[in-house]
Amino acid sequence: MARLTVKLRLGLLVLLLLAACRGYHAPVQSPAAAHYPHYSTELVRVDKTAIRVVDGDTFHAGDLTIRVLGIDTPETVHRGQPLGQEPFGGQASALARKLLSGANTVEYLPAEKDRYGRLLAHVFVDGELLAIKLIEASLAYETVSHYGDNGFPDLAREIETASQKSATPAFMEPYRWRKLQREEKAQAAPR
C-alpha cells in the first residue's frame, strides 16, 4: 500500500510538472538585444501590422507616432501643411515602408517625446538601425552632429560613422528645404 502511495505521488508530481511546462515558452531573443545587450530591457517590439509610414523618418504604430532618431529624410508632408513634397521624399518613404514591412521584427528604443507629441526613438529592423539603412541608401542626412546623441552615444557614433562612409544625398538637407519653403510662401503672400 505504501508503495502505491509513493508511485501515485510521483505520478501526480510528473503530471503537475508537465502541466506547468505546457504553457511555458522560451523567451524570443530580440535581434536588437543580441547586438545591443545593454539596451535589452528598454527595447519595445512593434506589431508590424499596426505600422503606417508617414515619411522616411516617421511612422505610426497604432496610436503612437514614432520619429526615428539620428536622421532627417526628405519631406512628403510637413505636419499637415501644404509645403509640397521634397525631391526624394517618395523614395525615402518607400524604402522605410519596405524595410519596416519586410522585417521579421521591428523594435524601438524610446528616448522622449518631441514638441509635436511624437516619440523620438532609435528603430531597429531585424536588429539593425533603420537610420543607418536610410543613410546608406543616400536617403537621409544624419542629425546627431546637430541634435546630439539623445542619451545613446554608441548608437549616435554608429550613425555618424555610416554617414561619413556613405555618399552625400542628392537632395537639400530637409531643414533647409523647409526653411526655403516657408520663406517662399511668406514672399508670395499678399501684403
What are the residue numbers of the active site? 67, 75, 118
The H or E element spanning position 97 is helix 89-102
Total count of residues recorded for the chain: 191
- Cα dihedral 47, 52, 140, 71, rounded to 10, equals -60
Query: 110 — alpha (psi -120 to 50), left (phi > 0) or beta?
Result: beta
CA distance 8 to 48: 49
Q: Give me 72's grid cell.
A: 532627417
Nearest to 148 by CA among 69, 49, 31, 94: 69
Nine-digit cell at 115?
Answer: 514638441
